[in-house]
Structure 1
Amino acid sequence: MVLTKTIGRAAAVAGAVAGGLAARRSRSRHDDTDVRRWFVVTVNRSPEDVMPDGKLPEPLARLGDAIEVRIRPAPGDKGAELAARLTPPPPPGSGPAAAKARLHGEDPRQQVRTALRQAKAILEVGEVVLPDAPGTTHPGLGGRLVAVADRVAHGEGRL
C-alpha cells in the first residue's frame, strides 16, 4: 500500500515537473520571432544534385508557393543544407487551438518538416522508407496513446 502511494506521488511530481518544463520551453520557443523559422536538413548530396534542372524534390514541390526554399553547401563539405520555411506567417505556436492542430496534423509547420524529411530520404535513398506495421495494435489505453504519439511524430521532432 505504501509503495503504491509512493509511486503515485513520484509520478505526480514527475508529471508536474515535466509539464512546467514543457510550458517554459513552449513560451521560449514560440514567441513572435519564431514564426518565420527555417527548418533545415543536411542531405548527403552536392547542392547541384539537390535541385537538378531547378526542380525541387517532389515532397517540397507539392507545397508550392506556401514555402520558400534555400539550398547551400553544408559546413565541412558534408553535402548540402536544404532549408524551407512558410512564406505566409504560420498561426501562433501556443495555446489550445495550436495544440489541437498539431495533434490532428493540421499545423502547417508539420507539413514543412515532413516534406523536408521525405525530400532527404528521396535524395539519399531513392524512396521514403516507412515501417511495415504500426508500433502497436493493442486495443487498450496504452495502445491508443502510442497510436496518437506515432501519428503526431510524423510532423514533429528534430529534422
Structure 2
Amino acid sequence: MGRIARMTGVAVASAAGAVAARALRVRRRESWPRAAGADPRPGRWQVVTVDRAPGEVLPDGRWAEPLRRLGNAVQVEVRPAPGCRGTELAARPRAGATPAGLAAHTAGDDPGRPIRAALRQAKQLAETGEVLRADRPAMDRAGPRG
C-alpha cells in the first residue's frame, strides 16, 4: 500500500470519527433540560452510605436534625447497604411539596442541593457525632500570621 493510499485512509477514518462525535453531541443536547433549573427527573432519590447500623443512623427512630429541618418536603428511606457495608440513607422531594418545603432552603437553581447537604450532614452526624467543617485558612487563625 502506498503512502497516498494510507493518508487517504487516515483522512476518511478521521472524517467518519468527527461525524460520529457530532451525532452523539447533538443527541446529548436534545436530552438536556430546556429551562434553567428544570430537572428531567424531579423525584430522583439522593443516597448516601453510612458506615453504621440502621439503629445508629436513626437513634430512637428519629431522623437526624438536618433531615428534620426539611420537614414534610422530603421522603426519607433507610435500607441495608449492599454487601453488608452499613446503611443506605435515601431522600427525595415529595411530589407537590418541592416549591413550598424546599424553597427556603434552596440556594440557586438546584432544588436537590438542600437534600444532598442534609444527607451529607446526617451521615457525618451518624459517623462522627458532629457536622464537620472545613479548616479555616491560616490567615484567619489567631497567632503570628493572623
C-alpha displacement of 1:47: 1.3
After superposition, residues 31-50 of structure 1 pair within 5 angstroms as 31=40, 34-50=41-57
Letter in 2 for 1:81: E
- TM-score, normalization by structure 2: 0.60
* Equivalent of 2:132 in 124, 129, 143: 129
- Which residue is equivalent to 1:120? 123
- The residue aligned with 1:64 is 71
Write the deviation string for residues 108-127 of structure 1: whole angstroms up to 9, x where unpaired: 31100000000001110111
> Is it true that 1:107 corresponds to 2:124 in the alignment?
no
CA distance in 2: counterparts of 1:132 and 1:48, whole angstroms: 30
CA RMSD of aligned residues (A): 3.2
Q: Which runs of 5+ in 2 are unaligned?
A: 1-24, 100-105, 138-146
Of stretches 125-134 and 108-117 in structure 1, the one that deviates more from structure 2 is 125-134
Structure 1 residues 66 and 30: alpha-carbon distance in aligned structure 2, compared to 1, 3 A threshold? closer
Residue 55 (structure 1) aligns with: 62
With 72-81 and 45-54 compared, the bigger mean Cα shift is at 45-54
Q: How many residue pairs are counted as aligned between the two chains?
A: 104
Distance 1:73 1:54 in 2: 15
Unaligned segments of structure 1, at least 5 residues:
1-19, 92-101, 135-159
Change (3 A) 1:77 1:62: same
Question: Any idea what SS the aligned residue of 1:108 has?
Answer: coil
Q: Partner residue of 2:88? A: 81
Percent identity reads 48
Q: State the partner residue of 1:154.
A: none
Larger Rg: 2
Q: Kindly tell me: are residues 68 and 126 of structure 1, through their superposed partners in 2, closer, same or farther at Cα, counting changes over 3 Å?
A: same
* Structure 2: distance between partners of 1:106 and 1:60: 20
TM-score, normalization by structure 1? 0.55
Structure with more of its chain in helix, by fraction: 1
